Amino acid sequence: MRVFMLAVAIAVVLAAPAHADGGQSLKPWNAPWDEGADNCAQRAHKPLEIRRYDEGTYVLRENLCATWEAPFMYLLIGEKKALLIDTGDVAEPQKMPLAQTVAGLVTQHGALPLLVVHTHRHLDHRAGDPQFANRNNVVVVGYDLDSVRRFYGFHDWPNGVAHLDLGNRIVDVMPTPGHNETHVVFYDRKTSLLFSGDFMLPGRMLVDDPAAEAESARRVADFIRSRSVAAVLGGRGEMNSTGELFDWESTWHPHEHALAMKKEDLLALPQAFQSFNGFYSESGKFTFIDSMRNLLAVGAGAILLLLGVAYGLIRLFRRRRSNKLQSQRSPVSTGSG
């Protein structure tokens, strides 16, 4: 009986909705996810995990053995409409039954239309779009910058805040270019959750445009300063519980860091980003990387190395050729009797 009551208590804790307490207690998304495997062929892994936050809020994650990106997606259901944020990294419904799963969750709340949006246009956040293309009562918002600006009505990009009314549930949308020029974040007024995509997450924060990233960090900090934030939920998780980054493209995340970050992390982001050197910097909880600059630096280094090797070979060839010519020109000495 004690074992049974303990199991019930644990289940209640995991299923209970969170409150705007800064993410201190255990939330559904912070319970352990499938950690994948070093060798995914050894056993089967469920392709898609689902966590329920409250009656109309779900966190979905694609398994590490389905894609090393293992992106998170979020389903918010209002009284008149449902909203899916991102569609993941796997297109094939046979491998990743995303649309079918989302439809099943939405149907539990009635015949609601579904709006599919993206935090930004990178493929690991939109590869599942085709699964929703021919479904009735579904609208998929385009991921290019013109489509994003037009749909939300951003006339002074990246300034302003748009609003999505799901029916007794308002979601604010803010432009946050920097990681990508199309990036936006979503703030759900009902739950006080902020869905940050790749703008802020427990892992590598890749930066394409440092100036835009700095401005986005400042705008988001100003926006949430006077608002409650229950948790900040990103698009990926790439570090363990001690803050060490997993290897790039790793399909095994043992002892993975909790997904949720806090309001204080968002408020600290502008100051932390000031230490970014343009290539790779660690500041507090944040690891900033400009992948393009690093690639260019590596490429430039490789070119310089090749030029150095070529210069050395040319000098060596010229020296040997000069020595050979000198030996040919030297007079042949003859001995006297």
Q: What's the CA gap between 105 and 81, in Å, rounded?
A: 13
| Residues written for the chain | 337
Q: Which residues contact 173 (CB under 8 A, 6 or more apart)?
A: 152, 161, 162, 163, 164, 184, 185, 186, 187
* Cα 291 from Cα 296, distance rounded (Å): 9
Model pLDDT, residue 27: 82
Give pLDDT tens digits for 79-135: 999 999 999 999 999 999 999 999 999 999 999 999 999 999 999 999 999 999 989
| Domains detected in the chain | 15-289 (3.60.15.10)
Intervals of the chain under pLDDT 70: 1-26, 291-318, 320-325, 328-337
| Digit-coded pLDDT (tens) for 11-50 | 333 334 433 333 334 588 888 899 999 999 999 999 999 9
